[in-house]
Amino acid sequence: MVLITGAAGGLGRGLVSAFAGQGWRVVAACHRITPPWPGERIWTVLLDVTDRPATAQTVKSIMERFGRIDVLVNNAGITLDQPVWQLDEAAWQAVIDVNLKGAFLCSQAVLPAMRQVRDGYILNVASQVGRRGARGQASYAASKAGLLGLTQSLAREEGCHNIRVNAVMPGLLPTGMTAHLAKDQMKAMIAANVLGRANSLDEVAGFIVFLAGMQSVSGQCFQLDSRVGSWVA
């Protein structure tokens, strides 16, 4: 059983299809809309990941219905881009709440069930912006940097319970989050990849499904594009 947050977005929908296609039972958690997914393996729920009681109730409902949660994918995320000098405090907080606090609350909610069976996997969808920063994306970069820190701290804490925790940085994807970018921005971002192209939703989703099945990998952050950086992150 896998719980995927932000399931209505571009990557979220790809993850739902990829996990279901590999035989997983999927709980697709969406904030406002619930796409009609075919098949008995997909159960859709409305979830505000920033709401602790709602998160706890959703996990309780999953446990009552399925008896366990094997995988949590913290995919919910938003951007409200502005340069720092123009950035509204409410916008800053909204991004931090969804991208970072949401992952914390969802992880905290599933941990008791995973600890009980001494098995589980948490995957956080991060971003290379969290390591490098980006003009106009201070709130998004801060939230994703925090997510990388959360990933490694949680991996250290829960390794003794056989709970694996990793993060992926998907790279540039054709989703609603990048649809607002100007053509010159897209061109520059694609040019930064040595393969000269953006990433594929199917490849990213497939990698995450594969990683969920690995038993001896934890505390890692995987970059899934062709931008070549220095050895020291």
The residues that are catalytic are 140
Give the separation between CA 223 and CA 216, rounded to whole angstroms.
Answer: 18
Give the separation between CA 168 and CA 208, rounded to whole angstroms.
Answer: 8
Give the separation between CA 133 and CA 1, rounded to whole angstroms.
Answer: 34
Work out the widest C-alpha separation in the chain, in whole angstroms: 51
Please name the residues in contact with 223: beta carbons below 8 A apart, sequence gap of 6 or more. 128, 168, 169, 171, 229
Give the separation between CA 14 and CA 120, rounded to whole angstroms.
Answer: 22
Q: Which residues of 8-32 are buried (b: 16+ CB within 10 A; e: fewer)?
A: bbbbbbbbbbbbbeeebbbbbbbbe
Q: Which of 53, 63, 58, 74 is nearest to 4 (CA)?
A: 74
Q: Which residues of 206-227 are buried (b: 16+ CB within 10 A; e: fewer)?
A: bbbbebbeeeeebbebbbbbee
Note whether 74 and 68 are within 8 A (CB): no
